[in-house]
Amino acid sequence: MGKTIIEKIIARHCREKVTPGKVVWVDIDLRTARDFGGANVVENFRRNYHEDRVADAAKTFFAFDCVAPANNIPYANNQQICRDFAQQQGIKVFDVDQGIGSHILIDKGLCLPGYIAVGTDSHLNLLGALGALGQGMGDVDIAFAFKTGKTWFEVPETIKVVVKGKLSPPVSAKDLTLAVLKRLGSKGALGKAIEFCGEAIDSLSLDGRITLASMVTEMGGIVGFITPNQEVLAYCRARAGKEDIEAITADPDAHYCQTIDIDISGLKPQISLPYYPSKVANVDEVEGERVNSIFLGSCTNGRWEDFKMVAFILKGKKVHEGVMFKAVPSTREVYGRLLKKGLADVLFDAGVILTSSGCGGCASGQVGMTGEGEVQLSTGNRNFKGKQGAGKTFLVSPATAAVSALYGKITSPDKV
Amino acid sequence: MKRPILLKGRAWALRDEKGRAIDDIDTDQIYHNAHLAITELEKMGRFALGNLPGWEDFPQKARPGDILVVGQNFGAGSSRQQAVDCFRSLGIALIMGESFGAIYKRNAINSGFPLMVCSGIISQSGKVDSGNILEVNLSTGEVFNHTTGKKIEGGERFSQVQMDIYQVGNLFEYGKMILP
């Protein structure tokens, strides 16, 4: 019997036979903690291991992305606890200026296809965009991983999702992602891995792949793999400064517990309605609803391609009077490019509030919470009740966010 | 350390005001991100279910040894350990649910907190209501409702790794036993 991607990746990291349902111990390539959960990791580590060293400081990282820079004392304290621990242990910290940890792992060439990475981030599985296994974990798991370099996995079954058809602008990777989420629902992949394939998937850029892989969490899945194409492999090789990087592919006779076919031909711009990411509709079904604020950013849509699309739409125009447009690049690298390539000017002139990089409005309000009655369009991945404040959050693509910002109401970008 | 296999306690069935099971309860509803900077277990209990409409007063009503009964995909969303720890903090003995978010399940298992999958336990009426006294065998998956006098089918026995970690306390203790 052939193997799926996750079975192959796990098998490369353990000394046991790998079959779905079996619990195996694996060696982890990368372990990370954020400012969220990081202090708890340190506390768990110290309580259980006292003055011991971490298993391998070179494979261990902190990345502060949730509340960056800290806007309250408890978060500031927690970040400092992590910095002190990191210094004692010789661990690299990607501090509050650097942006979203999962993206840094990709852009610094730290995570490569076939790797296993764990961290206190439930969207770490976006590393599936590289064909790597990322797993979000709580602070007990991560403290253990810091100390031992190991963790246990119950090998999940895999669902194959075949996406046919072609994306035609302004329909984007986010719309594709929401269409898949609509089909699978919030529990469609519960406890399982996904392999995405098909024409529409093959043609996604790295940024688009990150968008799709990041929202497997909202489908209940462990991870969603997209087999790297030559463009993604070239990116990894350039970033890591290594040539011998290859994709892990599934065997032709691998076993899937389910195969789902989705045809996105003629797909319209998609939107998640409050308060569930999986409550997906066509944008034109809710068109016209007043919008108070926009959040562009997050690990789902905070990359260069996303900002480029928004700048293209906003160029020479003004955000509608009374609409707050908050834009938070995913990483310092994206932020720097915006500043240096003139896109920051375009956004500024349009009335956008552009800030330093991080998780922004997606986490506990580094950049703005919503007030009662406020309607927010977010390019993020979650719109659970109360998560980003007291208002209502809709999830959309960068293009839908930008066009809606111009009109001050929910507007489908395909009409403009 | 040998921890009990048989748990008996008062149930809280997580239903809405219309009596329907609430599915997809995410970790922000269980333990809101406004309290994430807290690292002490004893301070977490007071925020349990604090953002779930109709259940905000759960920390005042819950007693140590109670059993929480939940629907599908409980603990969806973020990786925060506090969403498990807040129930440990209150002394909740067990969470029984139709299914759990994958990270939530790991977090519970690793902190030695009992979590049992039991299909249909809350969506099917007549199985359990708040206030019922349940008796649960973690090793066999057998569930008995003392209030109704009926057996509840669908309980899944603990997996080996779950039972092993539960018995020694948590992942840290387990790791000391099995890793060099």
Instruction: Give the 3-state secondary structure of chain A.
Output: CECCHHHHHHHHCCCCCCCCCCEEEEECCEEEEEHHHHHHHHHHHHHHHCCCCCCCHHHEEEECCCCCCCCCHHHHHHHHHHHHHHHHHCCEEECCCCECHHHHHHHCCCCCCCCEEEECCCCHHHHHHHCCEEEECCHHHHHHHHHHCEEEEECCCEEEEEEECCCCCCCCHHHHHHHHHHHHCCCCCCCCEEEEECHHHHCCCHHHHHHHHHCCHHHCCCEEEECCCHHHHHHHHHHHCCCCCCCCCCCCCECCCEEEEEECCCCCCEEECCCCCCCEEEHHHCCCCECCEEEEEHHHHCCHHHHHHHHHHHCCCCCCCCCEEEEECCEHHHHHHHHHCCHHHHHHHHCCEECCCCCHHHCCCCCCCECCCCEEEECCCCCCCCCCECCEEEECCHHHHHHHHHHCECCCHHHC
Angle, CA of B81, A117 and B87, to the nearest 5°: 10
Collect all residues from B whose CB is shorter than 8 A from any CB in A. 23-24, 26, 28-29, 32-34, 36-39, 51, 53, 72-73, 76-82, 84, 99, 101-103, 105-107, 110-111, 159-161, 170-172, 175, 179
pLDDT of A363 above 80: no
Segment A282-294 mean pLDDT: 97
CA–CA min distance B103, chain A (Å): 6
pLDDT tens, residue order, chain B (180 aa):
589 999 999 999 999 999 999 999 999 899 988 888 788 899 999 999 999 999 999 999 999 999 999 999 999 988 899 999 999 999 999 999 999 999 999 999 999 999 999 999 999 999 999 999 999 999 999 999 999 999 999 999 999 999 999 999 999 999 999 877
Tell me the pLDDT tens digit for each residue of A80-96. 999 999 999 999 999 99
B103 vs B89: CA distance, rounded Å: 19
**Amino acid A365: pLDDT:** 63
A140, B107 Cβ separation under 8 angstroms: yes
* Whether B37 and A77 lie within 8 Å, measured CB to CB: yes
From B78, which residue of chain A is nearest by alpha-carbon distance? A122
Segment A7-36 mean pLDDT: 96
Of the partner residues B99, B106, B107, the one whose CB lies closest to the CB of residue A187: B99
CA A192 to the chain's CA centroid? 18
Residue B77 counted as domain residue: yes
Chain B residues touching residue A144 (CB < 8 angstroms): 110, 171-172, 175
Of the partner residues B24, B72, B80, the one whose CB lies closest to the CB of residue A37: B80
Chain B residues touching residue A75 (CB < 8 angstroms): 37
pLDDT category of residue A415 using cuts at 50, 70 and 90 = confident
Of the partner residues A150, A190, A386, the one whose CB lies closest to the CB of residue B51: A386
A183, A51 Cβ separation under 8 angstroms: no
Tokens of A214: 């990041």
Q: In what order do the strands lie in the sheet with B133-137?
A: B115-117, B94-97, B67-70, B6-13, B133-137, B143-145, B150-152
**Amino acid A148: pLDDT:** 97
Please state, as a whole number, how many other Cβ atoms lie within 10 Å of the Cβ of residue B17. Answer: 7
Which residue's structure tokens are 């770490």? A124
Residue B1 counted as domain residue: no
Chain B residues touching residue A193 (CB < 8 angstroms): none
Which CATH number belongs to the domain containing residue B97 in this structure?
3.20.19.10
A191 vs B156: CA distance, rounded Å: 16
Helix (H) or strand (E) holding B12: strand B6-13
Residue B103 counted as domain residue: yes
A6 vs A3: CA distance, rounded Å: 8
State what percent of residues in chain A have pLDDT above 90.
94
A contact test, residue of B16, B81, B117, B159 with most A CBs within 10 A: B81
Segment A39-59 mean pLDDT: 96
* Whether A154 and B38 lie within 8 Å, measured CB to CB: no
Segment A48-63 mean pLDDT: 97
CA–CA min distance A251, chain B (Å): 26
Tokens of B98: 């139709």
A221 vs A212: CA distance, rounded Å: 12
The tally of domains found in chain B comes to: 1
CA A297 to the chain's CA centroid? 10
> What domains, with CATH codes, occur in chain A?
7-154 (3.30.499.10), 158-263 (3.40.1060.10), 270-415 (3.30.499.10)
B124 vs B122: CA distance, rounded Å: 5
* Whether B36 and A222 lie within 8 Å, measured CB to CB: no
Question: Average per-residue pLDDT in chain A?
Answer: 96
A147 vs A166: CA distance, rounded Å: 46
Residue B92 counted as domain residue: yes
ipTM value for the complex: 0.92
SS3 B179: coil
Whole-model pTM?
0.95
Buried b (16+ CB within 10 A) or exposed e, A134-152: bbbbbbbbbbbbbbbbbbb
B24 vs A300: CA distance, rounded Å: 21
Domain around B100: 6-178
Of the partner residues A140, A187, A384, the one whose CB lies closest to the CB of residue B107: A140
DSSP B127: S
Residue B78 counted as domain residue: yes
pLDDT of A416 above 80: no
Question: How many CB pairs below 8 Å do chains A and B form together?
Answer: 120
A289's torsion region: left (phi>0), alpha (psi -120 to 50) or beta? beta
pLDDT of A364 above 80: no
* Whether A186 and B160 lie within 8 Å, measured CB to CB: no
Rg, chain A, Cα only: 20
CA–CA min distance A416, chain B (Å): 34
* Whether A122 and B77 lie within 8 Å, measured CB to CB: yes
* Whether B81 and A190 lie within 8 Å, measured CB to CB: no
Amino acid at the residue B103: I
Helices B102-110 and B160-168: crossing angle, nearest 10°?
40
Answer whether the bond into residue B166 is a cis peptide, omega within 30°: no
Segment A18-47 mean pLDDT: 95
pLDDT of A50 above 60: yes
CA–CA min distance B62, chain A (Å): 23
Of the partner residues A43, A72, A148, the one whose CB lies closest to the CB of residue B39: A43
B36 vs A189: CA distance, rounded Å: 27
Segment A84-111 mean pLDDT: 98
A contact test, residue of B27, B28, B78, B161 with most A CBs within 10 A: B78
Segment A258-279 mean pLDDT: 97
CA–CA min distance B77, chain A (Å): 7
Tell me the pLDDT tens digit for each residue of A177-191. 999 999 999 999 999
Chain A residues touching residue B171 (CB < 8 angstroms): 140-141, 144
Segment A236-249 mean pLDDT: 97
